[in-house]
Amino acid sequence: MSVRRPRLDDALVRSRRRRDEHLRELAGWLAVPSVSGDPRRQDDMLRAGDVLAGLLLRTGATVRRVPAPGAPPLVVGRLPGPPGAATVLVYGHYDVVPPGPGWRTAAFAPVVSGHRLVGRGANDDKGQLMAVVAALDSWRQAGGCPNSVWVVAEGAEELGSPGLADGLARLARWVQPDLVLVCDTERAPDGVPSVTVSQRGHLDLTVGVDTGGTPVHPGRLGGAVVDPAVVLSQVIVRLTAVLAEEGRRRPPRPGPARLRERTDEQVASAAGARALARAGLHRRVTELPALSVLRLAADAGTRAVPVRAGALLDVRLPPWTDPGAALRQLRRVVRDVAPPGVRVSVSAGAAHGGHELLPAPHHLAALDRACRASFGSPVRLVRSGGSLPGAALLAAAFSSTPVLLGLGTPGGHAHGPDEFLDLAGWSDGVGLLVRLLGSAELRAPPGAVPGEVPVRPSLVTRRSGPQSSPRGPPSSC
């Protein structure tokens, strides 16, 4: 890092001294139940954005809210650097998913338990955004960051990022960053920060089965009437078989030479006590298609055969798969399974393509140096089975390969009960960001090889909020 050494050392010292204060501020932010999928939480969404705006203002940033149609506004903070400095744009999100069952503590009453801070959003994504804020605050205390930094946080990532494309199009008129940094993924299993080089696509599907008529007594007409739950089961089995066949036809894709792949044992460890599929688990969760049933409903309200059944399905698609074509194929499969006289519907609540993202060499070199200094190891290159709509939208808006820097706690229960961040890893992550945001080597050198910007088709639709209806299939959440 060719930042003036005394200033960098000062910023690092201040980040360590102010760690407890920054964590207290994070705990206060985690206490705001910013569940974007819950219409009752609209005021909390605005309050969470206000908290972030206040945190950014204290770093010396100017803050504005940029409209994102159909979603809470983007919170955008800008810290100008000296003339000729590089410009870094950091993306994250301030919304969270609902708590769900299984918590041992209140999800929005964060607590420190041993070496962990537990609370919804601690890992995904308020904890990682707060690490960025802490790094910027440390630079303010040391006299100012050597580079220009923009922080862009959306409030609807957990809904599929509706409105983000429009908001980024506005931002692109004001800023052309040298580095687009995404802090919304986890560190590698060994605890070292990771750079994600591929992600799967995603379809969020609601399948409904309607046999018509009214509920009937199973002792009178059971066996004569079509059971919608049985039809729904057949649909799910058929979709699973089609996706499995697609996976068998797909050869492994070679990755970068430094790519780290998890062993079956590491995947099994992450799964805990869950039963597992056969071998080749890493490829199953990063490259191959997969179907997961998130919700099932079939209830007439009495001990009768219902007329409707529904399911919420999560479908993951291999990188570079066109989600529109995949959706059309799955709809054809469902249509072929439906028995005569039964209506089977399929609707997509969210759909977006996967991508492969290999950052520019000079960005990887800067990350390596920062990671070695903070974690004692070069940054890991990993594939991810997750899906981040914002990555492709950022690439399109700024014609730049976003760097997906994973600082979250590996196995930190994101989206699950007792979500947490590990305090030591979080602190080291702040140090890494201090070094990276202050690096003098983020501009592309003459003749540099650019990163590979994803250009494949991407379909993005809005995910609806959680609802339920006793007369119809469950909607997505």
pLDDT in tens, 243-283: 988 888 877 777 776 787 878 888 888 888 889 887 788 88
Distance of alpha carbon 398 from alpha carbon 169, whole angstroms: 9
Distance of alpha carbon 88 from alpha carbon 441, whole angstroms: 12
pLDDT band at 6 (very low <50, low <70, confident <90, very high): low
Burial of 82 from C-beta contacts in 10 A (0-12 / 13-18 / 19+):
exposed
pLDDT of residue 315: 94
Q: Are residues 94 and 223 in the same domain?
A: no
In a domain, 271, yes or no: no
In a domain, 138, yes or no: yes
Mean pLDDT of 345-359: 86
Q: Are residues 328 and 360 in the same domain?
A: no
How many separate domains does the chain show? Answer: 2
Helices (H) and strands (E) in the chain, counts: 13, 17
The domain that holds 34 is classified in CATH as 3.40.630.10
Q: Are residues 178 and 320 in the same domain?
A: no
**pLDDT tens-digit readout, 84-97:** 999 999 999 999 99
Q: Are residues 228 and 130 in the same domain?
A: no
Alpha-carbon Rg for the chain in angstroms: 23
pLDDT band at 459 (very low <50, low <70, confident <90, very high): very low
Q: Are residues 70 and 178 in the same domain?
A: yes
Q: Are residues 332 and 241 in the same domain?
A: yes
Q: Are residues 34 and 130 in the same domain?
A: yes
Q: Are residues 422 and 467 in the same domain?
A: no
Residue 231: give the domain boundaries: 201-250+284-353+456-477
CB atoms within 10 A of CB 24: 10
By residue count, the chain amounts to 477
Q: Are residues 297 and 395 in the same domain?
A: no
**pLDDT tens-digit readout, 52-86:** 999 999 999 999 999 999 999 999 999 999 999 99
Query: Position of tokens 């099932």?
Result: 296
Share of the chain above pLDDT 90, in %: 71
In a domain, 445, yes or no: no
In a domain, 467, yes or no: yes
Question: Which of 20-34, 232-246, 434-448, 454-468 shows the lowest mean pLDDT across its residues?
Answer: 454-468
In a domain, 261, yes or no: no
In a domain, 257, yes or no: no
Distance of alpha carbon 85 from alpha carbon 137, whole angstroms: 18
Distance of alpha carbon 239 from alpha carbon 296, whole angstroms: 15
Query: CB under 8 Å to 446, separation ≥6 — which residues?
Result: none
CB atoms within 10 A of CB 209: 30
In a domain, 444, yes or no: no
**Residue 205: enclosing H or E segment and its boundaries?**
strand 201-210
Over 90: is that where the pLDDT of 417 sits?
Answer: yes
- Closest C-alpha to 18, from 430, 422, 433, 436: 430
Q: Are residues 29 and 114 in the same domain?
A: yes
**pLDDT tens-digit readout, 305-314:** 999 999 999 9
The domain that holds 305 is classified in CATH as 3.30.70.360
pLDDT band at 444 (very low <50, low <70, confident <90, very high): confident
In a domain, 448, yes or no: no
What average pLDDT is seen over the chain? 89
Question: Which of 18-22, 285-289, 312-316, 350-354 shows the lowest mean pLDDT across its residues?
Answer: 350-354
pLDDT of residue 41: 97
Q: Are residues 122 and 24 in the same domain?
A: yes
Q: Are residues 28 and 175 in the same domain?
A: yes
